[in-house]
């Protein structure tokens, strides 16, 4: 990832963490315009609105305020008691906390993030929520600080599109998964008809739009990494020709 772009992303999410810590999360049309995080579909295309109100009510307010994703990966990951789950780009920790509760005390939920402010916020949220099986690690999603074959499920919420080396990310996901492991990722994905330049016209890289893969590119990347049973399914529109999507695949046993 280019140093300049990485620092731009880190700065944007560090500020988001500070806003959430102050009780002022990224909500409303003006926030979307300022941060470039909503494409042209409006504020309901991203963030806490994509979680069931009952789910949000069981979490610390700052975890909800820091939610900047484009879906709810824990809703499709079919997490089971005792599993080890990894969230790439875990931010304020909302998906890690939900995962930790679903896998129970015999399971583990890891979050990897490169932003110190988000990691500090996530750890505070875990303490406030009384979740002891959530662990937050500093690292980049292109080089996950976990052993090979140590994870049952990898989730991520609108973060893979931020990497400029997405194949390396997909390869890392495959590496850390155990045989039979699976992924349940929410991400912005473009229709195959859009060129990279056309995607960039619809929103910024930092805002999760310009860096999105097309559906075909995502499928090809997963296949190249070694995955089977690949599915990239659009859920809701975030910009013209671009959608939030659920990405699923399995590492063969």
Domain definitions of the chain by residue range? 3-250
Taking the model in full, what pTM does it have? 0.88
8: CB partners within 8 A, 6+ apart: 205, 206
Which segments in the chain show pLDDT lower than 50? 27-39, 45
Residue 29: what pLDDT?
Answer: 38
Residue 28: what pLDDT?
Answer: 40
Residue 30: what pLDDT?
Answer: 38
CATH topology of domain 3-250: Rossmann fold (3.40.50)
Cα–Cα–Cα angle for 62, 67, 71, nearest 5°?
A: 150
Residue 48: what pLDDT?
Answer: 58
Residue 42: what pLDDT?
Answer: 52
Instruction: Express each pLDDT in 138-193 by its tens digit.
Output: 999 999 999 999 999 999 999 999 998 999 999 999 999 999 999 999 999 999 99
Q: Find where tokens 């959608």 sit.
A: 243
């Amino acid at each position: 990832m280019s140093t300049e772009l990485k620092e731009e992303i880190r700065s944007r999410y560090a500020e988001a963490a500070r806003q959430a810590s102050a009780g002022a999360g990224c909500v409303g049309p003006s926030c979307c315009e300022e941060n470039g995080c909503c494409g042209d579909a409006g504020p309901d295309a991203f963030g806490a609105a994509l979680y069931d109100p009952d789910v949000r009510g069981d979490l610390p307010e700052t975890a909800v305020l820091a939610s900047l994703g484009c879906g709810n990966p824990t809703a499709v990951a079919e997490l089971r008691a005792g599993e080890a789950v990894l969230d790439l780009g875990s931010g304020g920790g909302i998906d890690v906390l939900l995962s930790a509760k679903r896998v129970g005390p015999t399971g583990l939920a890891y979050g990897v993030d490169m932003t110190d402010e988000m990691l500090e916020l996530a750890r505070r949220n875990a303490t406030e929520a009384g979740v002891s099986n959530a662990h937050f690690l500093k690292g980049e999603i292109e080089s996950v600080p976990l052993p090979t074959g140590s994870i049952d499920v990898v989730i991520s919420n609108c973060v893979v599109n931020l990497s400029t080396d997405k194949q390396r990310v997909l390869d890392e996901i495959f590496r850390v998964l155990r045989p039979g492991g699976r992924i349940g990722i929410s991400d912005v994905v473009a229709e195959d008809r859009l060129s990279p330049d056309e995607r960039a016209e619809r929103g910024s890289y930092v805002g999760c739009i310009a860096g999105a893969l097309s559906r075909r590119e995502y499928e090809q990347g997963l296949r190249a990494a070694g995955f089977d049973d690949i599915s990239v399914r659009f859920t809701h529109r975030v910009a013209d020709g671009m959608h939030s999507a659920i990405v699923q695949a399995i590492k063969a046993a």
